[in-house]
């Protein structure tokens, strides 16, 4: 059995906070374009022209194919068709993957040598939302200049190439099998899951036909939840956004652990055999130690402004540097690339193992945790035991308009008063969500009741000020 003290410890470094990348975009947010179906810009008309604009920009760089994949929400059929039409009008061929996890589309974009990959998904949002996000030929998020070029092209009148130059569309029938094999290849060949009883909740989303097969082929006894998508039940009281459902099944069926994915399969939450919910900070803590043990961790760890103070301290206690970036995987990926590190993520369970794949991947993250369990012969409960988290409360306040400012004097004064109460023994963060019309309020400190009270006070002030 390998103990924490057996893991090599490099010299400690300071914590840093990286500022957001800055560029003016009209449509693109932190994770593509997302919103309510039928409300501009998530309409057939706009997405048709978006496909055309993407095609025109890509056509300047060559004539390669574009992959299109989606999650299981009902509007995916509609947007798949119009994207294909828009790309065809620009002279670009499309390869249709059908329902596939977002990270699978990133992987297949690389391995099928496509010019770009397009994902139709609103991730963890309800079925009535949808979105479009893009991957480059390298399986990474599009560069800022490419997104800006697409937005500029959207301002031009839509045209159609000559009939002989229209793009063609074909369906890729072996996409699931290709990705399943890739997922299995990310753990050592001597790692098996024989004897483990695992419950996996796929949120009725894009991983419903992938995750259970990956785990079974590695030897686990798998019980499936959330694998009957009907277009309307994606993320509905299940998956990573509702881990309490999985927790109940783990306890009732005496499983060794549970794995909860979100609707597009890029984030994961896990449950230990005692019913404890492990968030992204705890999973990163386990993966970090495992990578140190096998000598594959490069540099330090990237977290976000939402990462728990306890996790930051645990990283430093292992002698590693810890850097915070704004919420959003594009910021994590950018900082990992800049520093040439290979591990970063968010408490939401969106974790990037850059040495294994080019984006956040819920299945691959879960496999790294399972590999740590097998390698160190410890349970999830034992693996996360060295991490002591600060009490942290997250509350959401709905926005009536995305343009409402949080700089109102009443809100800023309430923040200052709450920070004074914490007396440098906690953190407060207010931010507008990049994917939903919400203000997210986070309060963190040493005393759970105090933190809860401050969070509720701030939420009340924010709601009052925004309504005013």
Q: What is the pLDDT of residues 301-351, one digit of tens each?
A: 999 999 999 999 999 999 999 999 998 888 999 999 999 999 999 999 999
Q: What average pLDDT does the segment 195-219 reach? A: 98
Tell whether 264 and 402 lie within a shared domain: no
The residues pairing with 435 across neighbouring beta strands, listed in sequence order, are none
pLDDT band, very low/low/confident/very high, at 22 (cuts 50, 70, 90): very low
Burial readout 135-158 (b: 16 or more C-beta within 10 A, e: otherwise): bbbebbbbeeebbbbbbebbeeee
pLDDT band, residue 9 (cuts 50/70/90): very low
Per-residue pLDDT band at 4 (split at 50, 70, 90): very low
Residues 332 and 264 reside in one and the same domain: yes
Does 37 reside within a domain?
Answer: yes
> 45 and 104 share a domain?
yes
In 3D space, the residue among 34, 1, 57, 7 whose CA is nearest the CA of residue 287 turns out to be 7
Where does a domain end: 358, 383, 408?
383
Q: Is residue 22 part of a domain?
A: no
Q: What is the CATH number of the domain that holds 402?
A: 3.30.310.50
* pLDDT tens, position by position, 407-422: 899 999 999 999 999 9
- By DSSP bridging, strand 94-99 and strand 169-171 are parallel
159 and 88 share one domain: yes
342 neighbors 297 (Cβ within 8 angstroms): yes
Q: What is the mean pLDDT of residues 395-406?
A: 83
- Check whether residue 147 and residue 182 sit in a common domain: no
Whether residue 289 sits in one domain with residue 185: yes
Residues 44 and 9 in one domain: no
Please report the pLDDT score of residue 16 as a whole number. Answer: 58
pLDDT for the residue 11: 40
| Domain carrying residue 73 | 33-173
pTM for the full model?
0.88
Q: Region 262-275: what's the mean pLDDT? A: 98
E-assigned strand segments in 433-468: 438-445
Mean residue pLDDT of the chain comes to: 92
165 shares a domain with 200: no
In tens, the pLDDT along 274-315 reads 999 999 999 999 999 999 999 999 999 999 999 999 999 999
Q: Which one of 173, 205, 222 terminates a domain?
A: 173
Whether 310 and 201 map to the same domain: the answer is: yes
Where residue 2 falls among pLDDT bands split at 50, 70, 90? very low
Are residues 302 and 278 located together in one domain of the fold? Answer: yes
CATH code where residue 50 lies: 3.40.120.10
Radius of gyration of the chain (CA): 22
Q: Is the pLDDT of residue 14 over 80?
A: no
Domain count, the chain: 3
Residue 250, phi then psi, degrees to nearest 5 = -60, -45
Of 331, 360, 383, the last residue of a domain is 383
Average pLDDT over residues 108-126: 97
Same domain (yes/no): 253, 203 = yes
Q: Active-site residues: which are they?
A: 123
284 and 371 share one domain: yes
Is residue 257 situated within a structural domain? yes
Whether the pLDDT of residue 3 is over 70: the answer is: no
* Digit-coded pLDDT (tens) for 150-193: 999 999 999 999 999 999 999 999 999 999 999 999 999 999 99
Confidence of residue 12 (pLDDT cuts 50, 70, 90): very low
């Amino acid at each position: 059995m390998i103990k924490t003290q057996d893991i090599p410890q490099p010299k400690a470094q300071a914590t840093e906070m990286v500022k957001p990348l800055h560029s003016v975009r009209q449509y693109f947010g932190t994770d593509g374009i997302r919103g309510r179906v039928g409300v501009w810009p998530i309409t057939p008309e706009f997405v048709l022209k978006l496909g055309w604009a993407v095609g025109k920009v890509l056509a300047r760089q060559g004539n390669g194919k574009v992959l299109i994949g989606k999650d299981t929400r009902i509007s995916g059929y509609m947007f798949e068709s119009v994207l294909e039409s828009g790309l065809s009008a620009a002279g670009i061929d499309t390869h249709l993957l059908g329902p596939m996890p977002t990270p699978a589309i990133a992987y297949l974009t690389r391995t099928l040598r496509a010019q770009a990959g397009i994902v139709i998904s609103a991730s963890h949002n309800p079925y009535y939302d949808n979105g479009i996000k893009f991957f480059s030929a390298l399986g990474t998020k599009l560069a800022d200049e490419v997104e800006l070029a697409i937005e500029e092209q959207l301002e031009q009148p839509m045209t159609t190439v000559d009939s002989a130059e229209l793009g063609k569309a074909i369906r890729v029938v072996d996409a699931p099998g290709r990705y399943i094999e890739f997922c299995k290849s990310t753990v050592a060949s001597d790692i098996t899951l024989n004897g483990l009883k695992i419950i996996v909740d796929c949120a009725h989303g894009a991983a419903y036909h992938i995750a259970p097969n990956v785990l079974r082929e590695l030897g686990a006894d798998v019980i499936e939840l959330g694998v009957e998508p009907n277009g309307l039940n994606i993320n509905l009281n299940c998956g990573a956004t509702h881990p309490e459902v999985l927790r109940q099944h783990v306890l009732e069926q005496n499983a060794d652990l549970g794995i909860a994915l979100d609707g597009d399969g890029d984030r994961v939450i896990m449950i230990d055999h005692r019913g404890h919910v492990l968030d992204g900070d705890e999973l990163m803590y386990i993966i970090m130690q495992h990578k140190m043990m096998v000598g594959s961790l490069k540099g330090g760890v990237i977290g976000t402004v939402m990462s728990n103070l306890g996790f930051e301290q645990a990283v430093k206690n292992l002698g590693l540097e810890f850097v915070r970036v704004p919420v959003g995987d594009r910021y994590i990926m950018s900082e990992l690339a800049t520093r040439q590190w290979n591990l970063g993520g968010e408490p939401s369970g969106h974790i990037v193992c850059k040495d294994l794949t080019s984006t956040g991947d819920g299945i691959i993250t879960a496999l790294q945790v399972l590999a740590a369990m097998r390698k160190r012969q410890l349970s999830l409960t034992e693996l996360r035991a060295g991490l002591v988290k600060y009490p942290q409360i997250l509350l959401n306040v709905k926005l009536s308009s995305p343009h409402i400012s949080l700089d109102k004097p009443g809100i800023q004064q309430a923040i200052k008063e709450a920070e004074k109460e914490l007396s440098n023994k906690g953190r407060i963060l207010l931010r507008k969500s990049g994917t939903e019309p919400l203000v997210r309020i986070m309060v963190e400190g040493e005393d759970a009741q105090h933190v809860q009270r401050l969070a509720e006070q701030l939420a009340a002030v924010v709601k009052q000020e925004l309504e005013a």
